[in-house]
Chains A and B, each alone.
Chain A
């Protein structure tokens, strides 16, 4: 099965995620054996959800889990890649494709003229007949489907599977995810963790051996995201005539049209419309462009939040870019255009230093933010200008 931007799943190249695999396999075993589970009581939660951004290895995880479970007695697994279904006609896709293939896994089949409800009923009957056998359904690429299709899938299939004692649902989704009707599907998901350096090294050895020696550089640039590891490895190992896909575009996926906005904001730890304005003016605005006023920034913010790569964090006093993605964006920007990267930090510094002056109640907080940007700028190889807003002493340091 081809992955969108990276490698197709290759069992021999799978690295890390043992904890997540164990979560699935243990839960399946406990459910199959009807054992109490101290962490995730099966009677309460027959759903495991993973949420992670693009390139974190969700699809590989689900397929690896399916491989593991295939060896387990009295467990039937079925991997559903929702990308394969035409979500524009939910009833047809369910009746003709998805549900029949699932039924087939249970050894039953339905007549070609059956309705979706009939097919579902047969499926549930078949499941009930399995008694001691557990059905594990792994649903991938939830975020690639239309809302109506997911609602239909929920109504016709998942809602019923979620109530069956011998059924375990494993879902993989990105961002905010879908608003499922079935409450059991709306548990907060488990987050997939980034690779540490040793996992990255192992991954590179298996997938891009020529780049394995550059693990430190790659780890620093990729922030431990497996897809980024792969792409940066390929970049290092590739010849100039055959460059790998752009890492940032790949990670942003459909959100790549907003790449400049992401890049403009990537040096900030949190932002709102005001901060967006300051950064956009520094980066995006060209002569003749419409002004980045409050409304334009509010609309831009909505667009960014809609990508699921940005979320609200009251503790951070604003919206934040996905914590795995932001360092990659910043690193990539710095590598590509250090001068721009520095200017953005300067703009952020000026903004926060101004706030520290203007708002005594939160002076310490904004001074800390200003200091953060000063520290970032100190790493620059580009000389800092007087316009940076830094004192001569600070520029010298």
Chain B
């Protein structure tokens, strides 16, 4: 922005001289020179217009090369970090600003910059990976702290400055009370807010002089005193003394001959009167001098003799009156003088978030060129501030706070609302267009930043490095978008509070949907800044109801805890709201919404699941009953999705499917914003369908989820869907297809550097490889199958290690151990079929130990899985490991061990899940269907053992045992689902054994099935009967014989 200063504003030209600040300058210099390595924080408070910003800028400039206080061993910020600007209201925003303020010393902040690049990439790719995203952000903050710390230790010291600290927001009293837990524990894993970060920085940074400037703020002051103790210095920034005002006149006069001539006509007596009336406040003094220079008529009170003015000034009411008249006259002069910049200055008053040429053009109708020239003409005025952006597009012009207040009081508030409505319309359209433009730019850059997933995966990795520039541009565009959204809310709130609040909610919801914590916190501060301007006891402002605002603020904290995986805090806060502020829950949707979020917390932390279920059902019923509730569809969709997840956790897959289907149909009706949640639910639904063996539909749902996620872009969810698809394909009997999907997933997770994702993909890939090698022994030679198992083993071991150490997660660790155990088991089974030589080096590419070694490894691993599952009370995994152990013994022909393992596995399932003789079976309510699956598996195994023994001995008793077990096994499977993978596998296996039986043995088996069905009161048709009939149709006398027996 150029300096085309309008000479008619000579009196208002900004000075470059500090007046009456010797004491504070001396103190700051002394502390900077102090060798003790202690840090001092200067908390400089004064009302607006006292020159705080000017002071800290002057201090910083003195420390720069060429400045009076420059020392090469002291690093001083080039400029302050100003909390006036919303982008500094998040820790990541403030750290970035501080880094830039320090002159962007890249070599000193290598760790920070590397992490920042990772964080930017993570924001791009890790949507829905909430914990990883948050961790990446926290790493960023920690890296900054450590780099900054090292930098200060390596030098004599640093000097940094923060301005407009009164804008750092506190929650409303009520919400603050509810959040007390957070306040108390912010150091122990709470969400690091700007305030907490700043206090920690001030308290912990060594060897620094830190200037903290702002208008007086009692609470902030109290907090700083408590946190910093004697490290805090609170200098008095006093008004100008009379001699300072006189000096100010001289300094202004020295700026030009024209102004010198005009000011020379102002006698000292009048200058002293002006000092009295302006209270020695520099900004008012500058405006008054400009008024003195430019206005045709002067306020008579200014022209009275000094003694009279002094007597007047002793009466505060009279002084206030004169100051008011002076303000009115200054504004009148501005309104009537007709100077070319007057319209620009007046227009600036409409936009406290800053003005650029485009916005000025829209508000005034000036041509863009004239608007730019107009802005250039005011930049050097004492009451104008310029904030240069990352690029010329983002440079903005601001008025001094005092000037905003002055013009608002005396001009804007006087104009008809229709005028302000028109201006707000122009502002709104500016923001709408800008937001649209930036979003399009982001969309384009995101495509560039991601590159393509191609068959040649190495090339993708290269592309990502090439796209670092796009990523940096993307980061800038995202910052710009955040700023625009926050400013849009700022203006909307002030134009129509209720509309503004609704816009805030939309944007904050959007931030939540896209896991954008940075935007969320900026929006939150903007809302608080507005609410904190309202009277403390307000109950409603322009139809914006306080209890709605407070509830929203509290609920957003729950959401923040949820997206950062702090489930305990989320649940605790929900309890606080119910207990301490029930008055917040009066609106129809309030309680259901609270219950849904609370249930989320419980479900994802696996606590009190019954209560979560109950809350969810109640909430959904209430929402169903009142469709008028705004956002009911969103809440219902979310509620059904959580309930689906909960049902899946219970092993109630059919219920899970029902809720997921409900949720997907609701998401489908909503707009594109919810596309990610829609895809998430589809993915969940696909997996639930897989669990019940509905592979065809599962593949369709998962494919749709994958397509949607690819369209949306972030790679993490894409990888999740690939992994899900891989698992579905494996379970559906297509492990070769499954393997490809899992490899896609694994590649992406590795690229994203996400250990958890890598672990998940490795478990799935290991299973796909294992089943590829063992499902169809005619497909590969045994040596090839063993090679596949060897690869699977490597993945499974890696996954075990990841979930044990790198990303601890017991359930996943058990799953990885279970898979590893199955790999050893299958390998042991195949071992002697292959001619491969023995190789006992576990690290070797040809590792291939003896069968016994493999069996022992399998047994130990599965026992370890079962033990861990027992410790963690995850009974469905415990029974799973035990069942697999029983199969291991079976493969090794250790039938007694197998029977023992079967008995142990059976004992894990509660009695209500067992089929009992002479009892018609009734399903327990809300049953965990997974138990039937496992009971089915062990009972088939039991049948297999008996069948093996029969084939060896032709002992009819063994045949009877086998027939009974097969009949019950399929009955267990049918309790779960008549059509799922393990059921089909069981049928195939039984069919296989039936091929070895003679006709009369098959007839006998018909009788056994009928007897078993009768004894256990199985409902016809009996599944085993149908299986057997495919081999040998039933004759009429079978049932008669069975009946006779």
Identify B419's interface contact among A44, A159, A183, A273, CB under 8 A.
A273
| Chain A: minimal CB distance from B207 (Å) | 53
Cβ contact within 8 Å between A305 and B267: no
Cβ contact within 8 Å between A183 and B418: no
**Tally of contact residues, B, Cβ under 8 A:** 38
B113 within 8 A of A: no
Binary contact readout A160-199 vs B (1 if CB under 8 angstroms, 0 otherwise)? 0000000000000000111111111011110000000000
| Assembly CA distance A176 to B411 (angstroms) | 19
Cβ contact within 8 Å between A358 and B296: no
Q: Which residues of B contact A178 (CB under 8 A)?
A: 296
Q: Which residues of B contact A293 (CB under 8 A)?
A: 365
| Assembly CA distance A319 to B335 (angstroms) | 9
Q: Which residues of A contact B337 (CB under 8 A)?
A: 176
Given A176-B296, A187-B298, A359-B418: A181 and B262 within 8 A (CB)? yes
Cβ contact within 8 Å between B338 and A294: no
Cβ contact within 8 Å between A159 and B336: no
Cβ contact within 8 Å between B265 and A274: no
A362 within 8 A of B: yes
Cβ contact within 8 Å between A186 and B414: no
Cβ contact within 8 Å between B265 and A181: yes
Q: Which residues of B contact A274 (CB under 8 A)?
A: 416, 418-419, 422
| Assembly CA distance A189 to B300 (angstroms) | 10
Given A183-B298, A318-B415, A362-B417: A295 and B364 within 8 A (CB)? yes
Cβ contact within 8 Å between B419 and A272: yes
A9 within 8 A of B: no
Q: Which of A293-334 contact B (CB under 8 A)?
A: 293-296, 298, 302, 305-306, 311-312, 314-315, 317-319
B297 within 8 A of A: yes
Q: Which residues of B contact A362 (CB under 8 A)?
A: 416-417
A14 within 8 A of B: no
B1015 within 8 A of A: no
Binary contact readout B315-357 vs A (1 if CB under 8 angstroms, 0 otherwise)? 0000000000000100110011110000100000000000000
Residue of B nearest to A366 (CB): B416
Binary contact readout B254-280 vs A (1 if CB under 8 angstroms, 0 otherwise)? 000000011001110010000000000
| Chain A: minimal CB distance from B261 (Å) | 7
A361 within 8 A of B: yes
Given A188-B300, A295-B365, A298-B364: A312 and B416 within 8 A (CB)? no
Residue of A nearest to B266 (CB): A183
| Assembly CA distance A179 to B8 (angstroms) | 12
A50 within 8 A of B: no
A372 within 8 A of B: no
Given A272-B415, A358-B418, A361-B417: A302 and B336 within 8 A (CB)? no
| Chain A: minimal CB distance from B720 (Å) | 51
Identify B335's interface contact among A181, A306, A312, A355, CB under 8 A.
A312
Given A274-B418, A305-B336: A187 and B296 within 8 A (CB)? no
Q: Which residues of A contact B296 (CB under 8 A)?
A: 176-180, 186
Given A181-B265, A295-B364: A317 and B336 within 8 A (CB)? no
Binary contact readout B290-301 vs A (1 if CB under 8 angstroms, 0 otherwise)? 001011111110
Q: Which residues of A contact B366 (CB under 8 A)?
A: 295
Cβ contact within 8 Å between B297 and A186: yes
Q: Which residues of B contact A298 (CB under 8 A)?
A: 343, 364-365
Cβ contact within 8 Å between A187 and B303: yes
Cβ contact within 8 Å between A44 and B364: no
B304 within 8 A of A: yes
Q: Which residues of B contact A181 (CB under 8 A)?
A: 261-262, 265
Cβ contact within 8 Å between B336 and A359: no
B29 within 8 A of A: no
Identify A44's interface contact among B304, B331, B338, B422, CB under 8 A.
B304
Cβ contact within 8 Å between B295 and A179: yes
Cβ contact within 8 Å between A183 and B265: yes
B235 within 8 A of A: no
B410 within 8 A of A: yes
Residue of B nearest to A181 (CB): B265
Q: Which residues of A contact B416 (CB under 8 A)?
A: 272, 274-275, 317-318, 355, 359, 362, 366
Residue of A nearest to B302 (CB): A183
Cβ contact within 8 Å between A183 and B303: yes
| Chain A: minimal CB distance from B67 (Å) | 38
B305 within 8 A of A: yes
Q: Which residues of A contact B418 (CB under 8 A)?
A: 274, 355, 358-359
Q: Which residues of A contact B343 (CB under 8 A)?
A: 298, 302
Given A181-B265, A272-B416, A318-B415: A186 and B298 within 8 A (CB)? yes
Q: Which of B415-444 contact A (CB under 8 A)?
A: 415-419, 421-422
| Chain B: minimal CB distance from A160 (Å) | 12
| Assembly CA distance A121 to B300 (angstroms) | 30
| Assembly CA distance A188 to B302 (angstroms) | 11
| Assembly CA distance A44 to B296 (angstroms) | 19
| Chain A: minimal CB distance from B249 (Å) | 13
Identify B336's interface contact among A176, A189, A294, CB under 8 A.
A176
| Assembly CA distance A312 to B303 (angstroms) | 23
Cβ contact within 8 Å between A294 and B300: no
| Assembly CA distance A376 to B1032 (angstroms) | 108
| Assembly CA distance A361 to B418 (angstroms) | 12
| Chain A: minimal CB distance from B414 (Å) | 4
Q: Which residues of B contact A186 (CB under 8 A)?
A: 295-298, 303
Q: Which residues of A contact B331 (CB under 8 A)?
A: 312, 314
| Assembly CA distance A341 to B354 (angstroms) | 43
Cβ contact within 8 Å between A177 and B297: yes
Cβ contact within 8 Å between A317 and B414: yes
Q: Which residues of A contact B265 (CB under 8 A)?
A: 159, 181-183
Cβ contact within 8 Å between A179 and B294: yes
Identify B338's interface contact among A177, A306, A359, CB under 8 A.
A306
Identify A189's interface contact among B294, B297, B411, CB under 8 A.
B297
| Chain A: minimal CB distance from B275 (Å) | 16
Cβ contact within 8 Å between B414 and A302: no
Cβ contact within 8 Å between B300 and A187: yes
Identify B305's interface contact among A44, A275, A317, CB under 8 A.
A44
Residue of A nearest to B331 (CB): A314
| Chain B: minimal CB distance from A319 (Å) | 8
| Assembly CA distance A184 to B414 (angstroms) | 32
Cβ contact within 8 Å between B328 and A314: yes
Interface-centre pick from B267, B299, B419 (highest chain A CB count, 10 A):
B419
Given A188-B300, A274-B419, A317-B416: A294 and B365 within 8 A (CB)? yes
| Chain B: minimal CB distance from A196 (Å) | 27
Q: Which residues of A contact B419 (CB under 8 A)?
A: 272-274
Binary contact readout B375-419 vs A (1 if CB under 8 angstroms, 0 otherwise)? 000000000000000000000000000000000001100111111
| Chain B: minimal CB distance from A65 (Å) | 22
Cβ contact within 8 Å between A294 and B417: no
| Chain A: minimal CB distance from B363 (Å) | 8
Q: Which residues of A contact B414 (CB under 8 A)?
A: 314-315, 317-318
Q: Which residues of A contact B304 (CB under 8 A)?
A: 44
| Chain B: minimal CB distance from A397 (Å) | 27
Residue of B nearest to A296 (CB): B365
Q: Which residues of B contact A275 (CB under 8 A)?
A: 416
Given contacts A184-B303, A293-B365, A317-B416, 15 further A-B contacts (CB under 8 A): A44-B304, A44-B305, A176-B336, A183-B266, A183-B267, A183-B292, A188-B300, A274-B422, A295-B365, A305-B336, A312-B331, A312-B336, A314-B331, A358-B417, A362-B417
For the complex of A and B, 8 pairs with smallest distance between CB atoms: A295-B365, A312-B335, A314-B414, A359-B417, A294-B365, A177-B296, A181-B265, A186-B298
Interface pairs (30), CB distance under 8 Å: A44-B305, A176-B297, A178-B296, A181-B261, A183-B292, A183-B298, A183-B303, A184-B303, A186-B298, A186-B303, A189-B297, A272-B415, A274-B418, A274-B419, A274-B422, A293-B365, A294-B364, A295-B365, A298-B343, A302-B343, A305-B335, A305-B338, A312-B331, A312-B336, A314-B332, A314-B414, A318-B414, A355-B416, A355-B418, A362-B417
- B residues in contact (CB < 8 Å) with A: 261-262, 265-267, 270, 292, 294-300, 303-305, 328, 331-332, 335-338, 343, 364-366, 410-411, 414-419, 421-422
